[in-house]
Amino acid sequence: MISSRIFAVLAWAALSVGLCSAAAAQALVIGAKEFTEQLLIAEMTAQLLRASGLNPHKGTGFATTGVRTLQERGIVDVYWEYTGTSLTTFNHVTEKLSPGETYARVKALDGERGLVWLSPSKVDNTYALAMRQADAATKGISSISDLARKLRAGDQFRLASTVEFVTRADGLKPLEQAYGFQFAYGNVIGMDPGAVYRALSRAGEFDVGVVFATDGRVSASELAILRDDLSFFPSYLLAPVVRKSTLERFPHIKAPLEKLAAQLDNETMAALNAAVDVQGRKVEEVASDFLRSRALLSGP
């Protein structure tokens, strides 16, 4: 659900564009979902656009449908989305497509709604199921099919899931249908992404967790990602998505956003996420250091 308070802040920022000051005339709103990767990429975007002479406002903490709704309504100008999310959640496409086909399809479909997908990064942040490495080895589970066989045989597993995954079109129920299994009633608990890792750290409480492929906490927590051997999850390439009207007003934002995208891949993103989630560094500091290290932002 969209937070009314955040909605009001973003609405105010959008309306401020109509003011007469030069600063307001250069204002735009950057949206982001509420997990580290999105917070980092939103902060990088804000720093890049500020360096381009614009006055960016950040709005974070949204669910997937919330930030997309705000963009379609003209309140959010730009946010970074994942191709698989647009394909399944916003456009309801269920056929299996290659990464390139997925990008081309969502670019075309969202283009009809006035949204422009810029060149994507190499970040493919797919959903994944993970177990503690020791438990996976002991139980002989290396793939989702292995887990499904255990569940069909009557074994009990408790799943720590992100709240969104439980109801998504590319989430839990379709995954269970594709692999032919079902977690027992009461064995799926929804929580925020960070809580999933804390839950899995306590042996005996949860057996499986829903994680993101680029999350730096996966390796730090000694988790084993279960292979998606039926290729259920689509490609989730991360790319900046901008309102067409915004791009027409500020055409110069395309180049810095695409330069940033070109610098990002799974290994890089996992390291950036770990700097925040494992090392405890501030999002603003990690974003600034990365931009300067790649010569995307000048200054000391």
Tokens of 144: 């989702």
pLDDT of residue 102: 96
Entry field: residues in the chain: 300
pLDDT over 60 at 9, yes or no: no
Q: How would residue 18 be classed by pLDDT, with cut points 50, 70 and 90?
A: very low
pLDDT over 90 at 14, yes or no: no
Can you state the percent helix, strand and coil of the chain, rounding each to 5?
Answer: 50, 20, 30
The domains spanning 4-124+236-293 and 127-225 adopt the same CATH topology: yes
pLDDT tens, position by position, 119-151:
999 999 999 999 999 999 999 999 999 999 999
Q: Is the dihedral of CA 261, 76, 215, 51 positive or negative?
A: positive
Distance CA 101, CA 109 (A): 12
Tokens of 241: 């998505």
pLDDT of residue 193: 87
* Average pLDDT of the segment spanning 158-185: 95
Q: How would residue 23 be classed by pLDDT, with cut points 50, 70 and 90?
A: low
pLDDT tens, position by position, 250-283:
999 999 999 999 999 999 999 999 999 999 999 9
Q: Which fold has domain 4-124+236-293?
A: D-Maltodextrin-Binding Protein; domain 2 (3.40.190)
Distance CA 262, CA 241 (A): 15
Q: Is 223 helix (H, G, I), strand (E, B) or coil?
A: strand
pLDDT of residue 111: 98
For the chain, what is the mean pLDDT? 90
pLDDT over 60 at 21, yes or no: no
What's the whole-model pTM score?
0.85
Residue type, 139: K
pLDDT of residue 25: 59
* Average pLDDT of the segment spanning 235-245: 97
Q: Where are the domains of the chain?
A: 4-124+236-293, 127-225
* Average pLDDT of the segment spanning 90-108: 94
Residue type, 297: L
Point out the least confidently predicted range of 195-204, 266-275, 286-295. 195-204
Q: How would residue 202 be classed by pLDDT, with cut points 50, 70 and 90?
A: confident
From first CA to last CA, the distance across the chain in angstroms is: 40
Parallel, antiparallel or unpaired: strands 208-212 and 159-162: parallel
CATH architecture of 127-225: 3-Layer(aba) Sandwich (3.40)
Phi and psi at 174, nearest 5°, equal: -60, -35
